[in-house]
């Protein structure tokens, strides 16, 4: 599962996200024993209707500490499900799908986004499916320092602590143009959301998790350009995503330097997802081909990513990871299958001519 | 096949290649800088003149080139003797005064080191290129297996390679002089540090410069100061100040993160200068070295908006102006720590913005493929400016001694390269591998170069530096052109290896039918 193949084909579209050049710790397989444990807890949680978060998590800590005594070697409270998850920019697209998947797995989720009404409707529809006391929502513009601080205090009020913080909020202003034609507002929005917002969120998340007995894990979502492949037509977006991966790397080094043991930074690569962000760029023939071949709907991606994300705190390791949905092998096999199976995936999402 | 190879040496019968070879490398390796400086360039100029005439028949050009070649020879001599004089004076003066005056001693060491470094770089380059040609030559002989006809071929090809390489190199130097007209340059964030040094260097190269920065007062002060420098430069240059006749400096306040301001800057530059040749995105911010947690919202916001938003907006505005210019233009983005992708703890925000700029550069390179706009990066290495020094610890400063440079030194290396840049996607670096090697080799000399044990700055204030520097400047005017010239000797290595491959192929194919 820990695939780190390198793609070097120049024919691959720049839209292809999978990271290859940087060397990271290969992702560890979930502990075999723990898989079972995971499943059993899933059943129990789903059998309980409307569980009270505080008391239930308290009992879980007790139970789990018996099961996984070996993980709590360094005096830190072991991190056991259900996890408290915070996802930024999670009222649509990947963020929403991730939130849904975490809820399915029995975790508690805080969602947020810029628009109050989208938060309201998203919380409403999630509560219909998963019950009242499992999901909370608030408005937060990640570009504003105060908003992010408010988000943290909101999370502390509702859930006391956060185990998994996913920095998902991102924007490309839904425009794919050469830089010389891009507008001021678009460029500023892209950079401030993707770069500034991410930095503010990372800072607040680290600050919050340093004081948590359970520690925490921060996941930054990468994107096109984070592997250093050129991203013409969305140069500003690519630049911010490359800087996001670099930020993760620098912060990992920083945390290590400061000898922080309870906070870990990770990268998360969703590959190509059929959200508004990607589909607004489906204008050229090449882009359409790659979207049809490689892109997946957010639900599919989330279904793959969430168990992998959950396995990170579950196996107790604080090593940095890089979780990828679209690995090199996968991308290649899909491209070849299209070539040989005469267009099995043709015209899947957008019409090619 | 053999006949084709013979064509080249026949046209250059006047050169006895064996003699040339014997004198060439031995002179260089044996006796050092002075003779290599004087002997080789004249030989090369001979080649280049011949070639240039046969390539272009314009009479006017020829005269210019001849003049340049002459001056090249003179400069070579002049430089060589200048270096020897200063070398001996420092050796005599410096070590004699050693016990009496530590201050003068330090100055002398710095001077000696400067002289040695420039000489060592030149010698090193020649040695390395010559050695690599020698290696290929040896391989060629090995392959020819003692066959006299084939070894003759190897000699011819080696000579051919050297000639082609020097011709290309010389062509570059000459072209630089042909295109010596003033350039119009816009530099953002140029009221302090490296930006100011770059502006000054461009100005003294005879270019027209637009200075921009956030505060109108500092822009005004900088413009006044640079005008003063220009006047001094014209006086000290005396009769040969013709190339400064068009130089001028203007300034406007501009906050690079404000789209309106950036547009104003571009319009101002166009209305003042007519067109823009070179646009340098130099404005950058870093708020000291500390963990991310200790950065305030405002700090992060300023760094991101200056480094990333500012550079993106400026680049776009510059592209818009340059796309419509018949001559196109060149945009430079400044590299910084983190550009290469290595992690930058304690400056996470700054590093990730600079890393993002690298990505921007590669994307723009694709977008601008068909236009006349060139996007480049310039890497100044480590420069003793506020950006680096703010919040640096004592330990950092000890480290700075080894690898840091004054902004003027860096600007003097970067500017000539920026002025002659061609195409797109070039990287102009100050800290090249030879320079790093030199810094490591001379580390013991550099211990107290900029900061003493207490971290107190030892280098002179900007004004004093400039006074000394103005004198040096005229003397070393040609050094950078010469450096570029030797870099192109590598072409000879390449062409020679191609010829070797050709010989291998031809010898094997001629053997096969026999067997």
Contact A192 B309 (CB under 8 A): yes
Does residue B459 fall inside a structural domain? yes
Nearest to B301 among A196, A228, A239 (CB): A196
Q: Is the pLDDT of residue A346 over 70?
A: yes
The C-alpha angle B419, B422, B425, rounded to 5 degrees, equals 110
Residue B294 touches partner A, C-beta closer than 8 Å: no
Residue A191 touches partner B, C-beta closer than 8 Å: yes
SS3 at position A331: helix
- Can you tell me the distance from the alpha carbon of B120 to that of B209, in angstroms, rounded to the nearest whole number? 34
Radius of gyration of chain B (CA): 25
Q: Is the pLDDT of residue B138 over 90?
A: no
Please list every residue in chain B whose beta carbon sits closer than 8 Å to the beta carbon of residue A191. 304-305, 308-309, 312
Tens of pLDDT, residue by residue over A115-136, are 999 999 999 999 999 988 899 9
The lowest-confidence range among A208-212, B79-83, B404-408 is B79-83
Residue ranges of domains in chain A: 84-284+295-332
* Substitution target from A14, A170, A180 for chain B, most B beta carbons within 10 A: A180
User: For residue A310, what pLDDT is reported?
Assistant: 93
DSSP labels, A298-323: HHHHHHHHHHHHHHHHHTT-----EE
Residue A130 touches partner B, C-beta closer than 8 Å: no
Summarize the confidence of residues B38-45 as an average pLDDT. 36
What contacts B181, CB < 8 A, 6 or more positions away?
A: B246
In angstroms, what separates the C-alpha of B352 from chain A's closest C-alpha? Answer: 4
Contact B300 A200 (CB under 8 A): yes
User: For residue B508, what pLDDT is reported?
Assistant: 61
**B142 with B218, same domain?**
no
CA B204 to mean position of chain CA atoms = 16
Q: Token match 């789990």: residue?
A: A64
* Substitution target from A192, A239, A267 for chain B, most B beta carbons within 10 A: A239
Contact B304 A199 (CB under 8 A): yes
The C-alpha angle B307, B309, B314, rounded to 5 degrees, equals 90
Residue A247 touches partner B, C-beta closer than 8 Å: yes
Residue B366 touches partner A, C-beta closer than 8 Å: yes
The C-alpha angle A322, A324, A328, rounded to 5 degrees, equals 115
Q: Is the pLDDT of residue B258 over 90?
A: yes
SS3 at position B452: coil
Contact A242 B356 (CB under 8 A): yes
Summarize the confidence of residues A336-348 as an average pLDDT. 72
Nearest residue in chain B measured CA to CA from A209? B293
**B168 with B257, same domain?**
no
Tokens of B49: 């003149």
Dihedral angle over CA of A17, A20, A23, A26, nearest 10 = 80
Strand partners, A273: A296
Q: Which of B34, B11, B8, B35 is nearest to B24 (CA)?
A: B35
Nearest residue in chain A measured CA to CA from B348? A250
What contacts A62, CB < 8 A, 6 or more positions away?
A: none
Number of domains in chain B: 2
User: For residue B470, what pLDDT is reported?
Assistant: 58
Q: Is the pLDDT of residue B163 over 50?
A: yes
Residue B365 touches partner A, C-beta closer than 8 Å: yes
Contact B360 A235 (CB under 8 A): yes
Contact B347 A250 (CB under 8 A): yes
Summarize the confidence of residues A268-274 as an average pLDDT. 90
- Can you tell me the distance from the alpha carbon of B156 to that of B38, in angstroms, rounded to the nearest whole number? 25
CA B315 to mean position of chain CA atoms = 22
Q: What is the mean pLDDT of chain B?
A: 73
**B323 with B372, same domain?**
yes
Summarize the confidence of residues B287-291 as an average pLDDT. 86
Contact A247 B346 (CB under 8 A): no
* Substitution target from B352, B372, B374 for chain A, most A beta carbons within 10 A: B352
Residue B355 touches partner A, C-beta closer than 8 Å: yes
Does residue B14 fall inside a structural domain? no
Please list every residue in chain B whose beta carbon sits closer than 8 Å to the beta carbon of residue A188. 259, 309, 313
Tokens of B223: 């413009």
Does residue B99 fall inside a structural domain? no
Contact A239 B357 (CB under 8 A): yes
Q: Token match 């859930």: residue?
A: A159
Tokens of A266: 């990770």
**B144 with B263, same domain?**
no
SS3 at position A259: coil
pLDDT tier at A40, thresholds 50, 70, 90: very low
- CB of B261 within 8 A of CB of B255? yes
- Can you tell me the distance from the alpha carbon of A233 to that of B107, in angstroms, rounded to the nearest whole number? 53
Contact A243 B352 (CB under 8 A): yes
Contact B312 A199 (CB under 8 A): no
Q: Which of A24, A96, A161, A237 is catalytic?
A: A237
Residue A180 touches partner B, C-beta closer than 8 Å: yes
- Hey, how many other C-beta atoms are within 10 angstroms of the C-beta on A313? 22
A272-301 residues touching B, CB cutoff 8 A: none
Q: Which residue has the higher pLDDT, A272 or A27?
A: A272
User: For residue B106, what pLDDT is reported?
Assistant: 76
Does residue B255 fall inside a structural domain? yes
Task: Residue B217: give its domain's CATH number.
Answer: 3.40.50.720
For this structure, is A237 an active site residue? Answer: yes
Cis amide leading into B339 (omega within 30): no
Q: Token match 């670096």: residue?
A: B429
What contacts B391, CB < 8 A, 6 or more positions away?
A: B287, B288, B289, B290
Dihedral angle over CA of B14, B18, B21, B26, nearest 10 = -130
In angstroms, what separates the C-alpha of B86 from chain A's closest C-alpha? Answer: 46
Q: Is the pLDDT of residue B78 over 70?
A: no
* Substitution target from B315, B319, B356 for chain A, most A beta carbons within 10 A: B356
Q: Which of B414, B459, B457 is nearest to B435 (CA)?
A: B414
Nearest to A246 among B259, B313, B352 (CB): B352
Residue A232 touches partner B, C-beta closer than 8 Å: yes
User: For residue B267, what pLDDT is reported?
Assistant: 95
- Can you tell me the distance from the alpha carbon of A195 to that of A234, in angstroms, rounded to the nearest whole number? 15
Distances B329 to A135, A177, A204, A351, B201 between C-alpha atoms, Å: 55, 21, 43, 40, 19
Tens of pLDDT, residue by residue over A148-172, are 999 999 999 999 999 999 999 988 8
**B250 with B269, same domain?**
yes
Please list every residue in chain B whose beta carbon sits closer than 8 Å to the beta carbon of residue A229. 362
pLDDT tier at B6, thresholds 50, 70, 90: very low
In angstroms, what separates the C-alpha of B332 from chain A's closest C-alpha? Answer: 16
Summarize the confidence of residues B186-207 as an average pLDDT. 91
Does residue B128 fall inside a structural domain? yes
- Can you tell me the distance from the alpha carbon of A279 to that of A348, in angstroms, rounded to the nearest whole number? 12
Q: Is the pLDDT of residue B399 over 50?
A: yes
Please list every residue in chain B whose beta carbon sits closer than 8 Å to the beta carbon of residue A238. 359-360, 363
Segment holding A268, helix H or strand E: strand A263-269
Backbone angles phi, psi at A42, to 5 degrees: -60, -45
For residue B367, give the DSSP letter.
H
Nearest to B359 among A199, A206, A228 (CB): A228
pLDDT tier at B101, thresholds 50, 70, 90: low
Burial class of residue B490, CB neighbours in 10 A (0-12, 13-18, 19+): middle
Contact A243 B308 (CB under 8 A): yes
- Can you tell me the distance from the alpha carbon of A237 to that of A231, in angstroms, rounded to the nearest whole number? 8
The strand order across the sheet containing B248-253 reads B248-253, B208-213, B184-188, B278-281, B329-334, B373-379, B427-429
Q: Which of B244, B169, B197, B186 is nearest to B485 (CA)?
A: B169
Residue A201 touches partner B, C-beta closer than 8 Å: no
- Reduced to 3 DSSP states, what percent helix, strand and coil does chain B have, rounded to the nearest 5? 70, 10, 25
- Hey, how many other C-beta atoms are within 10 angstroms of the C-beta on B443? 12
Residue A230 touches partner B, C-beta closer than 8 Å: yes
**B191 with B175, same domain?**
no
**B243 with B154, same domain?**
no
- CB of B293 within 8 A of CB of A200? no
Q: Which of B350, B430, B459, B485 is catalytic?
A: B350
* Substitution target from B329, B341, B363 for chain A, most A beta carbons within 10 A: B363
- CB of B213 within 8 A of CB of B222? yes
How far apart, in Å, do the first and last CA atoms of chain A sit? 36
Does residue B512 fall inside a structural domain? no
What contacts B217, CB < 8 A, 6 or more positions away?
A: none
CA A276 to mean position of chain CA atoms = 17
Contact A203 B338 (CB under 8 A): no
Nearest to B345 among A178, A228, A253 (CB): A253
Does residue B408 fall inside a structural domain? yes
**B388 with B252, same domain?**
yes
In angstroms, what separates the C-alpha of B321 from chain A's closest C-alpha? Answer: 10
Q: Is the pLDDT of residue A15 over 60?
A: no
Q: Token match 């870093």: residue?
A: B286
Contact B355 A253 (CB under 8 A): no
B244-263 residues touching A, CB cutoff 8 A: 259
In angstroms, what separates the C-alpha of B185 from chain A's closest C-alpha? Answer: 20
Summarize the confidence of residues A317-329 as an average pLDDT. 87
Residue A178 touches partner B, C-beta closer than 8 Å: yes
Tokens of A310: 């959950």
Return the CATH number of the domain spanning residue range A84-284+295-332.
3.40.50.720
- CB of A321 within 8 A of CB of A312? yes
Residue A193 touches partner B, C-beta closer than 8 Å: no
Domain that holds residue B153: 116-179+490-507
User: For residue A58, what pLDDT is reported?
Assistant: 39
Tens of pLDDT, residue by residue over A48-81, are 333 333 333 333 433 333 333 333 345 577 888 8
DSSP labels, B291-331: -GGG--HHHHHHHHIIIIIIHHHHHHHHHHHHHTSTT-EEE
Segment holding B252, helix H or strand E: strand B248-253
User: For residue A51, what pLDDT is reported?
Assistant: 36
């Amino acid at each position: 599962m820990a695939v780190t193949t390198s793609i070097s084909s120049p024919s691959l579209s720049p839209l292809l996200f999978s990271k290859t050049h940087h060397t990271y710790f290969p992702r560890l397989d979930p502990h075999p024993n723990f898989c079972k444990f995971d499943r059993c807890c899933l059943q129990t949680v789903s059998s309980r209707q409307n569980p009270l978060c505080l008391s239930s998590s308290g009992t879980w800590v007790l139970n789990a500490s018996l099961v996984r005594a070996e993980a709590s070697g360094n005096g830190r409270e072991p991190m056991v499900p259900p996890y408290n998850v915070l996802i930024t920019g999670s009222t649509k697209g990947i963020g929403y799908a991730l939130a849904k998947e975490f809820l399915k797995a029995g975790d508690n989720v805080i969602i947020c986004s810029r628009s109050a009404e989208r938060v309201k409707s998203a919380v409403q529809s999630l509560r219909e499916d998963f019950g009242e006391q499992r999901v909370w929502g608030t408005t937060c513009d990640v570009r504003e320092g105060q908003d992010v601080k408010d988000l943290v205090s909101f999370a502390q009020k509702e859930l006391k602590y956060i185990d998994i913080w996913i920095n998902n909020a991102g924007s490309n202003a839904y425009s794919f143009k050469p830089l010389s034609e891009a507008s001021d507002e678009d460029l500023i929005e892209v950079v401030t959301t993707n770069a500034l917002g991410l930095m503010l969120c990372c800072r607040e998340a680290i600050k919050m998790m340093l004081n948590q007995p359970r520690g925490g894990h921060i996941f930054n979502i990468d994107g096109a350009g984070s592997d250093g492949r050129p991203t013409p037509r969305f140069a500003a977006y690519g630049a911010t995503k490359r800087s996001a991966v670099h930020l993760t790397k620098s912060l990992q080094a920083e945390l290590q330097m400061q000898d922080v043991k309870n906070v870990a930074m990770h990268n998360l690569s969703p590959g190509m997802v059929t959200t508004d962000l990607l589909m607004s760029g489906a204008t050229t023939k090449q882009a359409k081909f790659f979207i049809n071949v490689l892109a997946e709907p957010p639900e599919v991606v989330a279904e793959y990513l969430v168990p992998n994300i959950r396995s990170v705190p579950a196996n107790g390791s604080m090593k940095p990871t890089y979780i990828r949905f679209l690995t090199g092998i996968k991308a290649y096999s899909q491209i070849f299958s299209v070539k040989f199976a005469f267009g099995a995936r043709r015209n899947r999402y957008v019409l090619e001519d | 096949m053999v006949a084709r190879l013979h064509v080249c040496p026949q046209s250059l019968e006047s050169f006895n290649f064996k003699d040339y070879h014997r004198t060439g490398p031995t002179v260089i390796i044996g006796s050092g800088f002075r003779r290599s400086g004087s002997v080789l360039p004249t030989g090369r100029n001979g080649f280049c003149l011949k070639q240039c005439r046969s390539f272009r028949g314009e009479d006017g050009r020829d005269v210019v080139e001849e003049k340049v070649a002459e001056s090249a020879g003179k400069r070579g001599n002049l430089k060589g003797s200048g270096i020897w004089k200063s070398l001996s004076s420092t050796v005599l003066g410096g070590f004699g005064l050693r016990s009496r005056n530590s201050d003068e001693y330090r100055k002398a060491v710095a001077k000696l080191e400067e002289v040695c470094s420039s000489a060592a770089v030149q010698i090193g380059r020649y040695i390395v290129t010559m050695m690599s040609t020698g290696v290929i030559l040896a391989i060629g002989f090995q392959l020819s297996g003692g066959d006299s006809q084939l070894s003759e071929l190897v000699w011819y090809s080696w000579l051919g390679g050297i000639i082609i390489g020097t011709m290309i190199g010389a062509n570059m130097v000459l072209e630089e002089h042909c295109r010596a007209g003033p350039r119009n340059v816009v530099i953002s964030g140029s009221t302090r540090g490296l930006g100011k040094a770059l502006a000054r260097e461009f100005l003294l190269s005879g270019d027209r410069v637009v200075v921009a920065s956030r505060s109108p007062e500092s822009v005004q002060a900088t413009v006044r100061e640079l005008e003063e420098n220009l006047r001094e430069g014209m006086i000290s240059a005396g009769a040969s100040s013709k190339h400064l006749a068009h130089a001028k400096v203007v300034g406007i306040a501009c906050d690079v993160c404000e789209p309106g301001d950036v547009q104003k800057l571009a319009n101002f530059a166009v209305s003042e200068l007519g067109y823009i040749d070179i646009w340098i995105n130099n404005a950058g911010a870093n708020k000291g070295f500390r963990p991310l947690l200790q950065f305030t919202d405002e700090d992060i916001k300023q760094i991101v908006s200056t480094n990333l938003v500012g550079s993106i907006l400026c680049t776009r505005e510059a592209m818009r102006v340059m796309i419509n210019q018949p001559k196109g233009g060149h945009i430079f983005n400044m590299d910084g720590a983190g550009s290469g992708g290595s992690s930058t703890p304690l400056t996470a925000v700054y590093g990730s913005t600079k890393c993002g700029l690298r990505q921007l550069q590669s994307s723009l390179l694709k977008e601008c493929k068909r236009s006349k706009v060139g996007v480049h990066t310039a890497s100044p290495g480590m420069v003793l400016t506020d950006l680096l020094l703010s919040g640096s610890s004592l330990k950092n400063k000890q480290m700075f001694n080894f690898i840091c440079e004054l902004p003027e030194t860096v600007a003097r290396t970067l500017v000539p390269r920026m002025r002659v840049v061609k195409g797109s996607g070039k990287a102009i670096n100050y800290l090249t591998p030879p320079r790093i090697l030199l810094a490591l080799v001379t580390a013991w000399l550099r211990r107290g170069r900029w900061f003493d044990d207490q971290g107190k700055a030892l280098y002179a204030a900007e004004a004093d530096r400039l006074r000394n520097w103005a004198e040096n400047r005229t003397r070393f005017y040609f050094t950078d052109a010469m450096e570029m010239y030797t870099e192109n000797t590598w072409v000879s290595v390449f062409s020679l290896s191609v010829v070797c491959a050709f010989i291998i192929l031809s010898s094997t194919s001629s053997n096969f039918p026999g067997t």
